[in-house]
Amino acid sequence: MGKQVVIIGAGIGGITTAINLAQKGFSVKILEKNSFAGGRCGVMTHQGHRFDTGATLLMMREVYETTYNNIGKKLGEELELFRMDPIYRIFFQNGKDLRFTSDLARMRTQLEAFEKGSFNRFVRYMNVGMKAYKLGMKHIIDRNFSHFLQFFNLKNLFVLHQVKALHNHYRYTGKYFKNPDLRAAFTFQNIYVGQDPYKASAVFSMLPFLELTEGVWYPKGGMGQVTKNLLDIAQEHGVSISYGCAVKEIQTEGRRVLGVTTEKGESISADIVVNNADLPYAYSELLPEKRMKKKMKNMKYACSAILFHWGTDCTFEGLEQHNVFVAKNLKKGLMAIFEGGDMPDDFSFYLHAPGKTDPTVAPKGEDSVSIIVPVANLEKQVYNMDELATQLRTAIFKRLEQEGIADFESHIKFEKIFSQESWKDNFNLYHGATFGSLSHNLLQMGYMRPHNQHKKYKNLFFVGGSTHPGNGAPMALISAKLTTEKILKGYGTN
């Protein structure tokens, strides 16, 4: 029997790491606190409706292709994927809208209607995004850093300059677009990783580039199908998974970990422990070190979100599958999200309505609508949830009616809500920070992001959004690859 590996948490990073290691002869056991796998890439069902618990779209398809190739599978044979085009419809408060599409002729017509000459500048901006992506992947994202000088050297400083990492994203888009609606359209993607577009690095220009070139895809059945498929593959390789098995402590002795203790008092020995729980939670709650607990408190965290799941008795004309509603005063809304304070009645939100694309998500002719409203995390603001939910609902229905989608509320059969506390309690996300939870500022990227191998306990590893390389499902898959490389370097093939 190979070396014993215990993985804490069944997110897609943890499951993929389990597959990678099981293929190399390790004996792998996953411990999951919830009754389901996937974390923020899971599924919730109610009355015949199915909702994604977090991620609703598949970006960076190349990362998924590589992940599946590495485990001896073909992505296209394992999942039925549909390319979304338009990717989403962006609604502005002035009555205008933009369908974000890879159809360049259509994009030209739309952009020129907003701002004369903007299409040619858009093409140049896409080139900036392409450079940020390709250089960023090679030198920063898709690689491990073993020591300081691998990251901080003249070559990488030049790369950081080339990818515009030292530029402010919103200000940088001003070089290409003067129209505030267009600047919002090409920067709101920062919120995918819990970042304020007004403060984020311009390296995130790669996000709209990736959307419009590699495309945005949707797996039939939702993003939870990615988790389900990976779980099936893991079980093919003998990986065991225990649900309802929360870990209370990572056992340590000297410079090693010995295994874990569960909330039920069970002691499970391991040669290697891989933590797929939120990293700040692990350092603060599962490990004994006071210094790292203090460090976690001083780090910067992503925003939280209020998530409404609404089962509706119909689908809605005028909505694409992915829709973004931009506030009139975007900056004011973002200040409340990232600095705290009362939420304004005019705020930005995302609406996912997959029913017309994928009839399997709801009973015939119905839909499973999800609304994501970014809000401050618990460190910045603690809301009265009943009052906030009422305020948000009222504003959302008003905005939908303003955009020609009348009587939306009357078609809602039931509602399920995720609050700041829900993210914290269900997924152990520090401060209820939905997107990560660690933010992606420059001092928390690359070598400066918490490492995927513990500095003291050399047989303790980390995988997921709050370690290198960062937040989001594709980054979790890359994290699994990098963490596996670290483990195999130290322990080889069993």
111-165 per-position pLDDT tens digit: 999 999 999 999 999 999 999 999 999 999 999 988 888 888 888 888 888 888 8
- On whether the CB atoms of residues 339 and 477 are closer than 8 A, the answer is no
Q: Which residues pair with 218 in a beta bridge?
A: 82
- Specify the range with the lowest mean pLDDT, choosing from 91-95, 184-188, 258-262, 434-438: 434-438
> In a 10 Å sphere around its CB, with 0-12 CB exposed, 13-18 middle and 19+ buried, how is residue 295 labelled?
middle
Q: Is the peptide bond before 469 cis (omega within 30 degrees of 0)?
A: yes
Q: In what order do the strands lie in the sheet with 267-269?
A: 247-253, 256-262, 267-269
- On whether the CB atoms of residues 213 and 102 are closer than 8 A, the answer is yes
- Specify the range with the lowest mean pLDDT, choosing from 19-23, 108-112, 307-311, 436-440: 436-440
User: Quick one: pLDDT at residue 436?
Assistant: 74
Q: Give SS3 for 351.
A: strand
Question: What average pLDDT does the segment 429-441 reach?
Answer: 89
Which amino acid, residue 412?
I
Nearest C-alpha neighbor of 464 from the set 20, 40, 63? 40
- On whether the CB atoms of residues 283 and 292 are closer than 8 A, the answer is yes
26-43 per-position pLDDT tens digit: 999 999 999 999 999 999
Question: What's the pTM?
Answer: 0.96
Tell whether the model's pLDDT for residue 1 goes beyond 70: no
- Phi and psi at residue 276, to the nearest 5°: -110, 5
Length, in residues, of the chain: 494
The two tokens of residue 175 are: 């070089």
User: Quick one: pLDDT at residue 494?
Assistant: 63
- On whether the CB atoms of residues 12 and 226 are closer than 8 A, the answer is yes
Tell whether the model's pLDDT for residue 492 goes beyond 90: no
Count of C-beta atoms within a 10 Å radius of residue 237 = 17
User: Quick one: pLDDT at residue 194?
Assistant: 81
Looking at every residue in the chain, the average pLDDT score rounds to: 94
- Specify the range with the lowest mean pLDDT, choosing from 66-70, 89-93, 198-202, 429-433: 198-202
Spatial CB neighbours of 462, under 8 Å, sequence gap ≥ 6:
274, 275, 276, 279, 282, 450, 451, 452, 453, 454, 483
User: Quick one: pLDDT at residue 442?
Assistant: 82
C-alpha separations of 96 from 13, 99, 256, 399 in Å: 39, 10, 59, 13
The angle formed by the CA atoms of residues 28, 31 and 35, to the nearest 5 degrees, is 130
How would residue 67 be classed by pLDDT, with cut points 50, 70 and 90?
very high
312-357 per-position pLDDT tens digit: 999 999 999 999 999 999 999 999 999 999 999 999 999 999 999 9
203-221 per-position pLDDT tens digit: 999 999 999 999 999 999 9
Distance (Å, whole) CA 341 – CA 478: 35
User: Quick one: pLDDT at residue 148?
Assistant: 82
How would residue 14 be classed by pLDDT, with cut points 50, 70 and 90?
very high
> In a 10 Å sphere around its CB, with 0-12 CB exposed, 13-18 middle and 19+ buried, how is residue 365 labelled?
exposed
